[in-house]
A and B are shown apart, each in its own frame.
Chain A
Amino acid sequence: MLKVRLRSVLTAALAAAVLLSVVTAAPAEAQPKEVKVAVIAPLSGPWARQGQLMQMGAEMAIDEINEKGGIKALGGAKMKLILVDAGDTAEKAKNAAQRVLAQEPDLVGGTGAWLSSFTLAVTEITERAGVPMLTLSYSDAITERGFKYVFQTSPTGGTQARAALPTILEMAQKATGKKPKTVGIIMDNTAAPVSFAKPMREGGLQKLGLELVVDEVFTPPLADATALVQKVRRAKPDIMLLLPTSVPDDKLILEKFNEFKLGQGRIPLIANGAHIGSPELLKNVGPQLLEGLMFIVANWGVKGQEAIIERFVKRTGEPWITQDSMTAYGDMWILKEALERAGAADSKKVAEEIRKLDLKEGPAALAFPGGVKFEPNGRRAGAHLVIVQWQKGKAVTVYPAELAVAEPIWPKQ
Chain B
Amino acid sequence: MGRRSLRRDLFAIAGIAVAFVVALLLVESAYYRLILTLVVIWATMGLAWNMLSGYGGLISFGHAAFFGLGAYTATLAMVQFDITPWLGIPMGVLVGMLAGVLIGLATFRLRGHYFALSMLAYPLAMLYVFEWLGYQEVVLPMKRENPAAYMQFSDPRVHALLGLGLMVLALLASLAVERTRFGMALLAIKQNEAAAEAAGIDTWRWKMPAIILSAGFAAAAGGLYAVVLLVVTPPTVFGVLVSAQALIVCLFGGVGILWGPVIGAAILVPLAEILHGELGHVIPGIQGVVYGVAIIVIILLAPEGIYWRLRDRFFRAAPMVPDAVPVATAEAAVTPMRSHRPLLVLEGVSRSFGGLRAVDNVSLTVEEGAIHGIIGPNGAGKTTLFNVINGFLKPNGGSIRFDGKDIVGLKPNRVCRAGVGRTFQIVRVFPRMTVLENVVSGAYVATTDDREAERLALRAIDTAGLSRAEAAQVASGLTMRQLRLLELARALAGQPKLLLLDEILAGLGHAELEEVIEAIRRVARGGTTVLIIEHTMHAMVRLAERFSVLDHGALIADGKPLDVTRDPAVIEAYLGKKWVQRAADRVA
Contacts and interface: CB of A to CB of B under 8 A. Distances in A.
Given A3-B317, A92-B276, A121 B231 contact: yes
Given A45-B285, A85-B281, A146-B142, A15 B32 contact: no
Interface string A172-216: 000000000000000001110011000000000000000000000
Contacts of B281: 43, 83-85
A25 interface: yes
Contact of B35 (A9, A95, A127, A147): A95
Interface string B4-27: 110011011001101110110011
Contacts of A252: none
A101 B31 contact: yes
Nearest to A42: B284
B229 A18 contact: no
Given A12-B16, A91-B38, A94-B229, A19 B273 contact: no
Given A89-B241, A102-B32, A141-B139, A11 B276 contact: no
Nearest to B16: A15
Interface residues of A, number: 59
B386 interface: no
A23 B23 contact: yes
A222 to B, nearest CB: 17
A116 B376 CA distance: 73
Contacts of A43: 280-281, 284
A120 B139 contact: yes
Interface in A29-57: 43-45, 48, 51-52
Nearest to A16: B19
Interface residues of B, number: 63
Contacts of A95: 31, 34-35, 38, 273, 276-277
Interface string A286-311: 00000000000000000000000000
Given A7-B315, A87-B276, A23 B26 contact: yes
B36 interface: yes
B131 interface: yes
B276 A8 contact: no
A90 interface: yes
Interface string B259-293: 10011001100100110111011001101100000
A21 B39 CA distance: 13
A152 B231 CA distance: 18
A27 interface: yes
A12 B19 contact: yes
A395 to B, nearest CB: 25
Contact of A15 (B19, B34, B280, B314): B19
B29 interface: yes
A116 B31 contact: no
A380 B63 CA distance: 42
A51 B284 CA distance: 10
B263 A147 contact: no
A96 B276 contact: yes
Contact of A124 (B30, B231, B259): B231
B16 A147 contact: no
A322 interface: no
B273 A191 contact: no
A90 B15 contact: no
A91 B280 contact: no
Interface in A122-174: 124, 127, 139, 141, 145-147
A73 interface: no
B288 A102 contact: no
A278 interface: no
Contacts of A99: 31, 273, 277
B32 A11 contact: no
A223 interface: no
A41 to B, nearest CB: 10
Contacts of A3: 315, 317
Contact of B31 (A6, A14, A83, A98): A98
Contacts of B270: 18-19, 21-22
Contact of B233 (A11, A96, A98, A117): A117
Contact of B137 (A22, A87, A101, A139): A139
A227 interface: no
Given A85-B281, A127-B142, A15 B263 contact: yes
Contact of A147 (B15, B34, B142, B259): B142
Given A91-B229, A95-B35, A147-B142, A102 B29 contact: yes
Nearest to B278: A25
B235 interface: yes
Contacts of A13: 19
B132 A11 contact: no
Contact of A14 (B23, B38, B236, B263): B263
Given A8-B12, A19-B36, A98-B31, A44 B317 contact: no
A195 B136 contact: yes
Interface string A244-285: 000000000000000000000000000000000000000000
B354 interface: no
Interface string A388-405: 000000000000000000
A16 B231 contact: no
A33 B212 CA distance: 59
A5 B8 contact: yes
B165 interface: no
Given A44-B280, A90-B231, A11 B285 contact: no
A194 B132 contact: yes
B404 interface: no
Contacts of A189: 132
Given A18-B267, A18-B270, A23-B27, A4 B315 contact: yes
B141 interface: yes
B292 to A, nearest CB: 13
Contacts of A15: 15-16, 19-20, 262-263, 266
A121 B229 contact: yes
A377 interface: no
B285 A22 contact: no
Interface string B288-302: 100000000000000
B15 A8 contact: yes
A226 interface: no
12 contacts: A11-B259, A15-B15, A16-B22, A16-B23, A25-B277, A84-B281, A85-B276, A94-B34, A120-B137, A124-B229, A145-B142, A147-B142
Given A19-B266, A87-B280, 7 more contacts: A13-B19, A14-B263, A15-B15, A85-B281, A117-B137, A117-B231, A121-B231
